Amino acid sequence: MIGLIARRVLGALPNLLGIIAITFLLTRALPGDPAAFYAGPAGTQEAVEEVREKLGLNRSLPEQFWIYVKDLGSGNLGQSLSTGQAVIQELRMRLPASLELVFLALALAISIAIPLGVMAARHPNSWIDHLCRLVTTAGVSLPTFFTGLLLTYVFYFLLGWAPSPIGRLDPFLTPPSAITGIYTIDSLLHGDIVLFRACAAQLCLPVLTLTVFVLAPLARMTRGSMMAVLSADFVRTARASGLASPTILVRYALRNALLPVVTTVGMVFSFLLGMSVIVEKVFAWPGVGSFALDALVASDYAPVQGFVLTMALLYTLLNLGIDILYVVIDPRVQLTK
């Protein structure tokens, strides 16, 4: 098993190289002269030359690529022109905010979608199946920004249940001192229940917005995959042997139906990372996405590239985790590959 996991990790290396190659290309494809760009609008001719020398822009492309890789290795993603900080610093500070959003939404979506899909497959054409169908077709068609604004209008303006959509915490409260950087966890670690509730309330709408979007593919895949498994012979045999219905459903059917669902989780994570940018904008959430957007508006490209790279690395990491999860769920994977 360890050997297998090691092989999976090695298998992700070409992917990593691809990511670095593409982000490098994106760096070089900057409109205009990157050196003039990094020197800033006030840069003189000498300053531009100096930057060109410093960035190695006067060397050949392979050499430049090597410099780029070396910089990445030492965690140098460049400077943000608008904030004056190192990009890596900013990303590290803001990443917990984004992760909190994305992983909570993923967890919520999975915990709704799987039972929904299983029940829909168990009772085809029942009301729950129709509900599942409605959720799956409506969910993928909802633009995230539309859902977010609709939820804000209903739950903040009309009902007054949600706090105003202005970031992670009410401006009158002080955030918990950083341990993980994830406010809800930090406030719990400090034992501050009031603060925890304030953070959680702030999270509700953005997480819900993301969940609605990714619920659909997960529920659809669970339903389809469960339908196929439930009509298999071994399920009939289990049923004929008199096993209890929940046992058959969960221990026999679900475990076999789970592989394609886990694959879909990977796909859905890609959506989540993308859509989190939009959700962060709608809810003024200070994550990496809104950092990249602010930079983009100010034509400050280093943060955008750092952001793209971070997201791609996160995605690769999650896919690696999923690859390893396959083996845990289905030991047969080990034998065939």
Q: Does 149 interact with other proteins (rule: CB under 8 A)?
A: yes
Structural tokens at position 328:
């845990």
Residue whose CB is less far from other proteins, 211 or 319: 319
**Residues 276 and 287 sit within 8 Å (Cβ to Cβ):** yes
Residue whose CB is less far from other proteins, 136 or 187: 136
Q: Does 161 interact with other proteins (rule: CB under 8 A)?
A: no
Q: Find the binder of other proteins among 66, 157, 161, 234 (CB under 8 A).
A: 157
Q: How far is the CB of 265 from other proteins (least distance, A)?
A: 14
70 bridge partner residues: none
Q: Does 121 interact with other proteins (rule: CB under 8 A)?
A: no
Task: Give the number of other CB atoms < 10 A from CB of residue 270.
Answer: 16
Q: Does 140 interact with other proteins (rule: CB under 8 A)?
A: yes
Q: How far is the CB of 200 from other proteins (least distance, A)?
A: 20
Q: Find the binder of other proteins among 37, 68, 196, 269 (CB under 8 A).
A: 269
Q: Which amino acid is at 73?
A: G
**Residues 190 and 82 sit within 8 Å (Cβ to Cβ):** no
Q: Does 200 interact with other proteins (rule: CB under 8 A)?
A: no
How far apart are the C-alpha atoms of 139 and 271, rounded to whole Å?
13
Q: Find the binder of other proteins among 8, 94, 168, 220 (CB under 8 A).
A: 220
What are the residue ranges of helices labelled H in the chain?
A: 2-11, 13-28, 34-39, 45-55, 61-73, 87-122, 127-141, 144-151, 183-189, 193-230, 233-240, 245-247, 255-282, 288-297, 301-329, 332-336
| Residue 47 φ then ψ, to 5° | -60, -45
Task: Give the number of other CB atoms < 10 A from CB of residue 128.
Answer: 18
How far apart are the C-alpha atoms of 278 and 301, rounded to whole Å?
18
Q: Does 275 interact with other proteins (rule: CB under 8 A)?
A: yes
Query: Rule CB under 8 A: which of 291-320 touch other proteins?
Result: 292-293, 296-297, 301, 304-305, 307-308, 311-312, 315-316, 319
Residue whose CB is less far from other proteins, 151 or 258: 151
Structural tokens at position 98:
């984004």
Q: Does 141 interact with other proteins (rule: CB under 8 A)?
A: yes
Query: Rule CB under 8 A: which of 166-185 touch other proteins?
Result: none
Q: Does 66 interact with other proteins (rule: CB under 8 A)?
A: no
Residue ranges in contact with other proteins by CB under 8 A: 14-15, 18-19, 21-23, 26-27, 29-31, 137-138, 140-146, 149-150, 152-153, 156-157, 164-165, 220, 223-224, 269-275, 277-278, 281-282, 292-293, 296-297, 301, 304-305, 307-308, 311-312, 315-316, 319
